[in-house]
Amino acid sequence: MKVIDELTCRLQAELLYANRDSKIADISTSHTSSCHQITANAWFAAFVYAKALNDDNALQYSHRADEYYQKAYDVHPPGQLYNLTQLYVNAVLRGDDNRQNLAKHIAMMAYDKTQDELHSVFTVVAALLAVEQSVENFLPELANEEKHKSDLVPLGSVDAVKAVLNGDEQWFVNNLDGLLTIHAKRAGNLRSSICSGSNTVICRMALLLCDAAQQRGMDVKDKLTKRRQKMNLRLSYPTKFPDVDKNIKLPLKVDFLTGDAFLK
């Protein structure tokens, strides 16, 4: 059993789900939007795993994710902000030039009271930072997620945001290295919510904050010592490998800012 087998298994599972040709029941716009989001999430995960495997189809999967996030955005206005945040993450990971326009759009909608409950406050905070808008109203919720040990908001996230606001490069680097270390440990922990998903090989918090800081003239990516680390990939589908110990640890070196894996 090799780590490439697990990554390939994950990719194939996401593609199988993303390509399901099923008619969406006409229950509500919220339901239709949720169905599109689920498909979009599968395409995005396929993008991440394909990127790790250096698969030539990675970019195609990323654009397919955009297509379905846009469908979800169009069909259910109360959920538009959430889908914008997902389009933003996808654009940042690709390094698209349009990510700043998406950040501006998020900033315009951040205080829209007609929106459904926000599920990704950290993405809104990063987008606001990227276009130099105030994040003050969202920091308490971000701090609460960090306090309750959210896998997507590791300890050090709030201080990293404050470091960007203060233009303190060393403070920013120190906190990013810290939260990247935490992410690497959680990514290989079977009790973690990110262990079996695409967030295993990318740290969204660090990715978004680094990009936001770069937009403000603080490029620290090459100064981080923990962006590339060895972590333990775990089996997402143990039944696919019945002869393999379900608790096996598959060492993988990955760049958590890009999702690029260093496969032998």
Query: Residues 6 or more apart from 159 whose CB is under 8 A from it?
Result: 171, 175
For residue 117, the model assigns a pLDDT of 66
pTM of the model: 0.94
Question: Are the C-beta atoms of 196 and 234 separated by less than 8 Å?
Answer: yes
Please report, in tens digits, the pLDDT of each residue of the chain (264 residues total): 899 999 999 999 999 999 986 677 778 988 899 999 999 999 999 999 999 999 999 999 999 999 999 999 999 998 899 999 999 999 999 999 999 999 999 999 998 888 876 678 999 999 999 999 999 999 999 999 999 888 889 999 999 999 999 999 999 999 999 999 999 999 999 889 899 899 999 999 999 999 999 999 999 999 999 999 999 999 998 888 989 989 999 999 999 999 999 986
Match 């593609």 to its residue by tokens.
Answer: 15
Q: How many CA atoms lie within 13 A of 227 on its CB side?
A: 18
pLDDT of residue 130: 96
| Burial of 210 from C-beta contacts in 10 A (0-12 / 13-18 / 19+) | buried
Strands 261-262 and 250-255: antiparallel
Rounded to 10 degrees, the C-alpha dihedral 76/79/82/88 comes to: 30
Q: Which tokens is 25 given?
A: 């029941």
What is the pLDDT at residue 118? 65
Q: Which two tokens stand for residue 245?
A: 């110990």
Contacts of 195 (CB under 8 A, 6+ apart): 186, 187, 188, 189, 234
Element containing residue 261 per DSSP (H, E): strand 261-262
Q: Are 142 and 152 in contact (CB under 8 A)?
A: no
Q: Is residue 94 a contact partner of residue 59, using CB atoms and an 8 Å limit?
A: yes
The pLDDT, as a whole number, for residue 22 is 67
Token digits of residue 29: 């716009």
Name beta bridge partners: 25: none
**For residue 39, what are the contacts with CB-CB under 8 A and spacing of at least 6?**
17, 18, 20, 68
Q: So what's the pLDDT on residue 256?
A: 96
Helix boundaries (H) for 95-231? 99-109, 121-130, 139-147, 157-166, 169-187, 204-215
Which DSSP symbol is given to 134?
-
The pLDDT value given to residue 113? 83
**Res 21: pLDDT:** 67
